[in-house]
């Protein structure tokens, strides 16, 4: 795996479908939400790239033992009319670690473990006031358990105090 530090410079906007569950039960709702998102793609105006979807998780989700939300989204150039039952999210500019993960989706927790260790060794920590993103390019995804899946994981970070 490879990690780099990236700084976003503009507010980004997303429209998508919310999936809810506990960490142990979230897989099926997320899968269903992505299916709904893709099947309703034509309802979303101003999609920047229809071949790229995002999984967005709220701040501090890692330590949650209760219910949490996961947002399956497209990035949009501007929020037009919000389709019924969908949500919109705006993300402010910030610093992220970008982890390039290759492997089955069932093992992507390894990327987070790798990132946590790298951050600790390099003077950073998670900024748990901001959203986390996973970027999925359609051309780089196969089946859920395919070893050649390629996902970019953006974790909000800050220098350790």
pLDDT digits (tens, 9 = 90+) for 29-40: 999 999 999 999
Separation CA 144–CA 134 (nearest Å): 14
Beta bridge partners of 102: 150
- Quote the domain boundaries for residue 14: 2-159
- Count of domains in the chain? 1
- 68, β-bridge pairs: 21
pLDDT tens profile 75-122: 999 998 899 999 999 999 999 999 998 887 777 788 889 999 999 999
Q: Dig out the tokens for 37 from the structure.
A: 């998102």
CB burial string 114-123: b at 16+ within 10 A, e below: bbbeebeeee
Q: How many CB atoms lie within 10 A of CB 39?
A: 10
This prediction has a pTM of 0.90
Q: CATH code at 36?
A: 3.20.80.10
Sequential DSSP letters for 83-96: PTT-EEEEE---EE
């Amino acid at each position: 795996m490879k990690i780099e530090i990236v700084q976003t410079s503009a507010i980004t906007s997303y429209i998508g479908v919310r999936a809810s569950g506990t960490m142990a039960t979230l897989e099926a709702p997320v899968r269903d939400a992505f299916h709904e998102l893709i099947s309703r793609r034509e309802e979303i105006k101003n999609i920047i790239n229809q071949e790229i979807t995002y999984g967005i998780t709220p701040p501090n989700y890692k330590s949650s033992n209760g219910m949490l939300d996961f947002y399956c989204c497209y990035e949009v150039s501007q929020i037009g009319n919000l389709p019924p039952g969908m949500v919109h999210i705006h993300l402010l500019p910030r610093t992220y670690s970008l982890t390039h993960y290759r492997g089955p989706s069932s093992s992507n927790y390894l990327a987070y473990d790798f990132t946590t260790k790298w951050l600790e060794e390099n003077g950073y920590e998670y900024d748990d006031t901001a959203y986390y993103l996973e970027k999925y390019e359609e051309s780089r995804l196969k089946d859920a358990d395919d070893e050649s899946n390629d996902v970019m994981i953006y974790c909000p970070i800050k220098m350790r105090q």
